[in-house]
Structure 1
């Protein structure tokens, strides 16, 4: 039986070296995403399709919407408040500020309004990364010894977290308590170690299925509760990094991509690498709460 398939097209030819961290801010109708290596924060008006960006001083991997309309930037050495209206950036907390090897990577707000985010080596150094949770303004380290932590997302009922250490090829599932804290050890959910492409960023839909970017395969796959592929989104860029649902009905899937590591010959063959892609999906995404700091 053939699987449902969709074809994503270029929404913004943003030319990101490493596009990451797409986030939908419902209050402003904007999609935000980062070019980690290019040190830029991009945004797109979903309605008007107006696009712009701001240059940053550091590598930032996510801009999480806050309850007051501002964003919390997850950066290579710190967390910072960003005001989209004024452009002001103010320091909130240090994260691995004394470690020049690492930077931030994947991140997502959980069902409790708390931020999970990861760090990794700037050259993907083996086991240099960690996983954190920012809950009501207090930062806790959940896990260490990770190389390229990714695929952070959460079940609709908030009882399960998902993540991967990309080089392992395995997406893990982690039981959570009623406050969103991990219980015991994570267990394997979906194994892509023998698959073309490596698991990268992920997002959950309203039916409890996980949409996972496969870096190197040029596709995003939809996984059911058993970790089985039940749908595919194809892209003309081989390095998709992370999907997110956006729009008033959460039925537009936006996907960030990258041209990291490309030679000029590769880029000539794949000119859309680094663009923001989009596709209309007949399945609604899962609304994510704004980040709560108190």
Structure 2
């Protein structure tokens, strides 16, 4: 079980689900068609993976973006991000339809305002949003015209216009969902072909689905207190996998939450889509 399971991503070419145990510096993978779960020790905290091509992946870590050789597991630094700041690490990240990568950071101890959200595209890195405590819920509409993100500490899921050609934000962010009066915290999200945003609610034991208008359309109960992030999986991207965590739980809480840290395949059908490949 993962202490902090996060960052699930599915590779349809190999039918493989990847995810992370962030604080233990591990990348895990498993073919959905069957077989064992493989564990790769990365030597540093890491939280997100994107596909470059059949031979290479891009990994977001506490010191930056690394190119990972799929065959050997060798990690090579490509672009440093906050490498000189020992307080922060990478967190929620996702690829825009144009191939740009939005990469979130946060304080390892959730230090207030210590994180940021960056845009990376074809070797260029820019800071988009600063003073972020816990970056989360980065996802995009299929046409690339809208981006979503949150600072989990605010309880507000934000929506901002995007340039479909570059993945850069256009205009000012606006509140999409106000979750401040609800149980739990907005964690990772994915957006399906119908514009439905599927959000894992940390501390809420639920995955919530919101329509394009921000209204709640569905809630799926989870057998863990801290679901962390969903991903579309399967050859038709019609299933939903969800990571979870036991970080922050004492021994008593862990006994009451015995499946915490597992990754789940939900028994529902969704109209999902595959992650775009990242352009480095």
**TM norm structure 1:** 0.93
Greater relative contact order (Cα < 8 A, sep 6+): 1
Aligned to 1:199: 186
State the 1:19 CA deviation.
0.6
> Which shows bigger deviation, 116-125 or 48-57?
48-57
Report deviation, 1:69.
3.3
> Counterpart in 2 of 1:27?
13
**Given that residues 118 and 131 in structure 1 are in contact (C-alpha distance below 8 angstroms), is that contact kept between their aligned partners in structure 2?**
yes
Deviation at 1:28, TM superposition (A): 1.5
> 2:269, 2:241 → 1: CA distance?
14
Match for residue 232 of structure 1 among 193, 208, 219 = 219
Q: Which residue, out of 88, 92, 108, partners 1:122? A: 108
Contact 1:117–1:131 at 8 Å: present in 2 too?
Answer: yes
Rounded to whole Å, the distance in 1 between the matches of 2:235 and 2:36 is 17
Q: Is the 8 A contact 2:12 2:274 kept in 1?
A: no
Give the whole-Å Cα distance in 2 for the aligned partners of 1:78 and 1:288: 20
CA displacement, residues 30-70 of structure 1 (integer Å, 9 cap, x when unaligned): 01000001111000101114311111110000121112332
Q: Are residues 1:256 and 2:233 paired?
A: no
- Offset, 1:217: 0.5
Query: Which runs of structure 2 are paired with 1:44-83 in the superposition (5 Å)?
Result: 44-83=30-69
Q: Is the 8 A contact 2:87 2:108 kept in 1?
A: yes
> Is the 8 Å Cα contact of residues 213 and 243 (structure 1) preserved in structure 2?
yes
Alignment of 1:1-294 (within 5 A): 15-179=1-165, 180-293=167-280
Residues 177-186 or 15-24, more deviating? 177-186
For the residue of structure 2 that corresponds to 1:190, the secondary structure is strand
Q: Which ranges in structure 1 are unaligned for 5 or more consecutive residues?
A: 1-14
Contact 1:251–1:280 (CA under 8 A) maintained in structure 2: no
Please give the alpha-carbon distance, in whole angstroms, between the structure 1 residues aligned to 2:7 and 2:227: 11
Any stretches of 5+ residues in structure 2 without a counterpart? none
RMSD: 1.0
Q: In 2, Cα distance between the equivalents of 1:24 and 1:112?
A: 18
Which secondary structure does the structure 2 equivalent of 1:183 belong to?
Answer: strand
Residues 188-228 of structure 1: CA deviation (Å, up to 9, x unaligned): 00010000011000001111110001100011101001111
Q: Distance in 2 between matches of 1:253 and 1:283?
A: 7
TM-score (norm 2): 0.97
User: Is the 8 Å Cα contact of residues 27 and 69 (structure 1) preserved in structure 2?
Assistant: no
SS of alignment partner, residue 186 of structure 1: strand
**How many residue pairs end up in the alignment?**
279
